[in-house]
A = this chain, B = another copy of it.
């Protein structure tokens, strides 16, 4: 049907062992999100184009759809593939507000599409895992702490390389700039946001262009250099001498989010207040999050988000939200490409039931059925080859056990651990493999 296909750049696909590792990551994310009471939502893959571009995101490389046999005069509104899970979730909330209970806590794990130039960690098709909490009219601040904590908990359980969750607060930086006397707070924020990519002198020039004098620009750069894993950052900011009510609120909020996330993060996640993080182009109004993966800083933030005072609005009602989005493919793709993450087998089967002769395949299938009824994944050998060949079939897939059904009612079955070569009598109704052999194990990268 198809001939000589080649991979499409930006549309990654995984081999079985990588897929098993990805599944384990997705399972763990779901488990953590559900333990925290977040409910699963999936949205359709498409949104009307005009809604996706409403946010002013004209720079987004949206994939637009047309039906192959569509009537060119059709009045169907143009549809595009969603480029994130926030826009569709906001629309879902508005569309179903009457059927949801607020505050509504949802997680959403789905693919997104962006027609950007592919590079490592940046794909045209990728999976995101988002958590958001959305309120009807108001949403208490403690949900900012909750969202940071659930993601710190989730990320810490994944076994990725060391992660640094970087927190900041828009009120803090906006209050600081205001207290400093800046008139165009947005321009200052956008300038500071360029610190990742531009030289300090260039940022300083942008700050001057935004109307700051040298002392003010210095203060902005000093603020951006503040970073701490505990509340000591509050004193560092106070030492800069700026006073402002919004700044005070921001400092208090950031200290609480930092404490809440740090208290739950495991050894693989460091939580920091990093006052350079601004997420300048997005409409955040309080807490903001970014996350770096050690050794993979070049792929950018793998987990980002923050507080929106209006995640969604239909003019009448306003739905504030706070959320964070983990880039599953962005994090795993580079690990898979370097062979740093995988699985110890390419089959879910724990046991291969051997077949002595095609005429006794039914007996082997019966053994498999008993094992499966007891939750033990197993496969039946595809051909009644010599046993050495059947063992090789298991070995090539990493299946640890080969089961030999007895030749007659008098004999007993035997099971061989093909790693050690140990072969022992066994009864399918009672034999149980060590729990670590039941399912594939995931190979994790070093911390």
**A391 at interface (Cβ–Cβ under 8 A)?**
no
Smallest beta-carbon distance A77→chain B, Å: 9
Determine whether the beta carbon of B94 is less than 8 Å from that of A5. Answer: yes
Q: How many copies does the complex hold?
A: 2
A431 cross-chain contacts in B, Cβ below 8 A: none
Decide if B91 touches A5 in the complex (CB within 8 Å): yes
Within 8 Å by CB of A40, from B13, B16, B35, B380, lies B16
B369 and A264 within 8 A (CB): yes
Inside 8 A of A284's CB, which chain B residues have their CB? none
A100 within 8 A of B: yes
Once bound together, how far apart are the Cα atoms of A113 and B67, in whole Å?
Answer: 10
Is A38 close to B, CB under 8 A? yes
Q: A141-152 interface mask toward B, CB cutoff 8 Å, 1 = contact, 0 = none?
A: 011001000000
Chain B residues lying within 8 Å of A35, measured Cβ to Cβ, are: 348, 372, 375-378
Asked whether A379 and B36 contact (CB < 8 A) given A8-B46, A11-B46, A46-B11, the answer is yes
Per the 8 Å Cβ criterion, residues 1-48 of A in contact with B are: 1-8, 11-16, 19-20, 23, 34-46, 48
A347 adjacent to chain B (CB < 8 Å):
yes
Q: Which residues on the B side are within 8 Å of A143 (C-beta)? A: 382
Q: How far is the CB of A16 from chain B (nearest CB, A)?
A: 5
Question: A74 → chain B, closest Cβ, in Å?
Answer: 11
Q: In the assembled complex, how far is the CB of residue A157 from the closest CB belonging to chain B, in whole angstroms? A: 11
Which residues of B have CB within 8 Å of A419? none
Are B103 and A382 within 8 A (Cβ)?
A: yes
Task: Count contacts on A: residues with CB < 8 A to the other chain.
Answer: 98
Q: Is A87 an interface residue (CB 8 A)?
A: yes
Q: Are B61 and A63 in contact (CB under 8 A)?
A: no
User: Do A94 and B42 touch (CB < 8 A)?
Assistant: no
**Residue A349 at the B interface, CB < 8 A?**
yes
CB distance A68 to B115 under 8 Å? yes
- Contact (Cβ within 8 A) A140 B383: yes
Per the 8 Å Cβ criterion, residues 93-136 of A in contact with B are 94-96, 99-101, 103, 105-106, 111, 113, 115, 125
Tell me whether A61 and B69 are in contact (CB under 8 A): yes
Q: Which residues of B contact A54 (CB under 8 A)?
A: 1-2
Q: Decide yes or no whether A273 CB sits under 8 A from chain B.
A: no
For residue A81, CB closer than 8 A to chain B, the reply is yes
Q: Is the CB of A91 within 8 A of B36?
A: no
The verdict on A64 contacting chain B, using a C-beta distance below 8 Å, is yes
| Neighbouring B residues of A372 by C-beta, 8 Å | 35-36
Residues of chain B with a CB closer than 8 A to A16's CB = 39-41, 100, 106
Residues in A202-251 with C-beta less than 8 Å from chain B: none
CB<8 Å pairs between A and B, sample of 18? A2-B91, A2-B312, A3-B313, A4-B315, A5-B91, A8-B44, A8-B48, A12-B44, A19-B41, A20-B39, A20-B40, A36-B377, A36-B379, A39-B348, A61-B68, A63-B68, A68-B80, A260-B365
